[in-house]
């Protein structure tokens, strides 16, 4: 049960969800859009967002059912009979203000959910996938932030009189005096770990203000991009002439869009602390609409502003130019976006991994010792990504394989399977006529089949992308 002082409002909870969804993948989406054509891209993005929304509603329903199961297992047999009679007659009513056994108050990790509803093999495979996915993400974040800082501050940006962007390279491998670029990268890495790393030792609620700041900065950055791009278009400097469709680029587009709204691993940590969940479904729908709209607006605007071959893989690079950005201040502000965003996403994923690691070893008595729970598990969470980030600045293959496959499975395979088995379990315990609070609106089994088919197609696409890239 969540304590009142550790809770936050629905608005703050939706900021957490926004930051989890609106990740760094947005920076690569405009290039994928430009290659595949505006019509094809718009349709695939809409399809991916709808599939992701469906699986989020599945996962929330599973969380509600799991909360009821936890309450059920705690009570005596006599109380269970009373609880069952109440649930069958009234506790499921959607407008019922009284507490329900399906209220999402228990902090259960995704590992807890798979342990409840999957068999031993399914649970093990899910845990391995989750660990690989989040460890890969944390290693990527710990590489991206210091790398972008080194690139920004080791290369001195200046706007000349002709209003173009100049980078002064003192030495290709030097940053400041005798300090090499690699050492500057490690200095920034140490600073990032020192400032953001401690959040892994606390609850997810402790980085509430980071989430609020990151949301504000995200909107500020993309407002700048939109204003600059619209100014270029309005003054006749838009050079984009995107095609309607290019099916040859479909695998790359599908891979980018299918990972555009990944928030499922962190969702079990985000939802329970929300104090008033009466409008939870509405809030989640709004977040998906906002994120999908921002994705589409940004990508389509960039397509019509820049020539296709000049759109960078990381779209912010198109704006780090004084002929585009209004001045050096905006170049630095846009250049720091990666660090700002990673600072918000890293604690969410780190705390999620820590809680899942603890859930894996919770049957062992030693895991409940204070020093193990509060110190050892956080260190096990953050140490491997730090080591990887220290020894290499390029983890593209690791993240490409573990990240893409794991993210697809976590988003499109685990939630539909969980909701299938949780519904069967809930009906066995509470009766077939019970209505689950926070139930997904997609109740027919056909939706589960559709999502699984989409997942298979997504995994095939990721495999094609990987083979093509290797060849």
| Angstrom distances, CA of residue 125 to CA of 17, 226, 461, 470 | 26, 43, 21, 26
Per-residue confidence (pLDDT) for residue 415, from 0 to 100 = 95
Residue 400: what pLDDT? 56
In the chain, what is the straight-line distance between the N-terminal and C-terminal CA atoms, in Å? Answer: 52
Q: How far apart are CA 52 and CA 407, in angstroms?
A: 11
Q: What is the pLDDT at residue 302?
A: 86
d(CA 313, CA 311): 7
Cβ–Cβ under 8 Å, residues 19 and 218: yes
Residues of the chain with pLDDT under 50: 89-90, 92-98, 161-171
Beta bridge partners of 168: 156
Q: What is the dihedral of CA 211, 268, 25, 198, to 10 degrees?
A: 50
Cα-based angle 267, 360, 280 (whole degrees, multiple of 5): 15
Tens digit of pLDDT for each residue in 123-156? Answer: 999 988 888 888 888 888 888 888 888 877 887 6
pLDDT value, residue 224: 85
Give the model's pLDDT for residue 161. Answer: 45
How far apart CA 390 and CA 194 sit, in angstroms, is 14
Q: Please state, in angstroms and rounded to a whole number, the distance separating the CA atoms of residues 418 and 424.
A: 10
Position 164 scores a pLDDT of 45
Helices 404-412 and 120-154, axial angle in degrees (round to 10): 130
Report residue 85 as tokens.
């009679």
Enumerate domains of the chain plus CATH numbers: 10-72+105-159+170-470 (1.20.1740.10)
pTM: 0.83
Q: How many CB atoms lie within 10 A of CB 122?
A: 16
Sorted by sequence, the CB contacts under 8 Å of residue 433 that are 6+ apart come out as 88
pLDDT in the model for residue 412? 92
CA distance 137 to 142: 9
Within a 10 A sphere around the Cβ of 392, how many other Cβ atoms? 12
- Work out the angle between the directed axes of helices 404-412 and 38-74 (0-180°, nearest 10): 60
């Amino acid at each position: 049960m969540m304590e009142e002082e550790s809770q936050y409002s629905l608005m703050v909870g939706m900021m957490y969800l926004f930051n989890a969804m609106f990740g760094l993948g947005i920076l690569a989406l405009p290039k994928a859009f430009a290659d595949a054509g505006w019509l094809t891209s718009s349709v695939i993005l809409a399809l991916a967002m709808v599939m992701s929304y469906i699986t989020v509603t599945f996962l929330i329903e599973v969380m509600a059912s799991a909360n009821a199961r936890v309450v059920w297992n705690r009570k005596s047999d006599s109380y269970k009979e009373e609880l069952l009679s109440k649930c069958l007659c009234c506790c499921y009513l959607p407008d019922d203000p009284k507490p329900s056994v399906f209220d999402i108050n228990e902090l259960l990790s995704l590992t807890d959910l798979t342990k409840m509803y999957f068999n031993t093999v399914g649970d093990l495979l899910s845990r391995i996938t989750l660990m690989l996915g989040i460890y890969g993400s944390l290693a990527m974040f710990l590489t991206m932030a210091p790398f972008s800082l080194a690139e920004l501050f080791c290369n001195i940006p200046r706007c000349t009189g002709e209003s173009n962007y100049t980078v002064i390279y003192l030495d290709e491998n030097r940053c400041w005096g005798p300090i090499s670029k690699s050492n500057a990268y490690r200095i920034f890495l140490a600073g990032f770990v020192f400032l953001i790393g401690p959040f892994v030792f606390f609850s997810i609620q402790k980085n509430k203000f980071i989430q609020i700041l990151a949301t504000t900065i995200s909107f500020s950055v993309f407002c700048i991009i939109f204003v600059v791009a619209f100014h270029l278009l309005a003054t006749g400097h838009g050079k984009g002439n995107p095609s309607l469709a290019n099916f040859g680029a479909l695998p790359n587009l599908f891979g980018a869009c299918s990972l555009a709204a990944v928030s499922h691993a962190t969702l079990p940590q985000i939802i329970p602390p929300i104090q008033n969940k009466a409008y939870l479904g509405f809030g989640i729908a709004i977040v998906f609409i906002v994120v999908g709209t921002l994705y589409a607006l940004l990508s389509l605007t960039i397509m019509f502003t820049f020539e296709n071959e000049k759109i960078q893989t990381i779209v912010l690079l198109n704006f780090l130019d004084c002929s585009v950005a209004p001045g050096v201040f905006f170049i630095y502000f846009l250049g720091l976006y990666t660090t700002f965003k990673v600072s918000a996403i890293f604690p969410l994923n780190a705390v999620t991994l820590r809680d899942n690691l603890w859930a894996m070893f919770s049957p062992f008595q030693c895991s409940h010792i204070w020093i193990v729970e509060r110190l050892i598990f956080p260190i096990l969470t953050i140490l491997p990504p730090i080591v990887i980030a220290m020894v290499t600045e390029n983890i593209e293959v690791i993240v490409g394989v573990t990240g893409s496959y794991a993210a697809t499975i976590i988003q499109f395979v685990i939630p539909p399977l969980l909701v299938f088995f949780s519904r069967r379990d809930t009906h066995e315990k509470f009766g077939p006529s019970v209505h689950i609070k926070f139930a997904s609106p997609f109740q027919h089994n056909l939706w589960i089949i559709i999502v699984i088919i989409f997942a298979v197609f997504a995994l095939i696409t990721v495999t094609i992308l990987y083979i093509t890239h290797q060849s």
